[in-house]
Amino acid sequence: MTPEVRLAALAAHLAARKLDVQLDSNGLRVRNPHVKSCCTQHTGDTISCRTRDEDGGRLWYFTSWGEPIAPADRVTDAAVFVLGYLSGGER
């Protein structure tokens, strides 16, 4: 599957969990509308899907700052990760 298809699958999982999602040419923009933003909290991010050299070139989801989230074929794991860090808790 292509990165765009993988991002669309993640978007569906996150939208079902009441997060705001928007898929565009920059990636998957995700925002938690239930948490107010603060300097120590992450309430939104842009997720990308690209190959990860450390994993033999398999597709992975990444945060906007380049942190690997999960392999792209593990969409539920990726959704749990994103939900966790956009929950409004400190990182």
pLDDT digits (tens, 9 = 90+) for 34-80: 877 655 456 789 999 999 999 999 999 999 999 999 999 999 999 99
pLDDT at residue 91 tops 50: no
What pLDDT was estimated at residue 37? 61
Beta-strand ranges (E) seen in 1-91 are 20-24, 27-31, 44-52, 58-62, 68-71
The pTM of this model reads 0.88
Longest dimension (CA), the chain: 39
What pLDDT was estimated at residue 43? 76
Do the strands 20-24 and 27-31 form a parallel or antiparallel pair, or are they unpaired?
A: antiparallel
What pLDDT was estimated at residue 27? 96
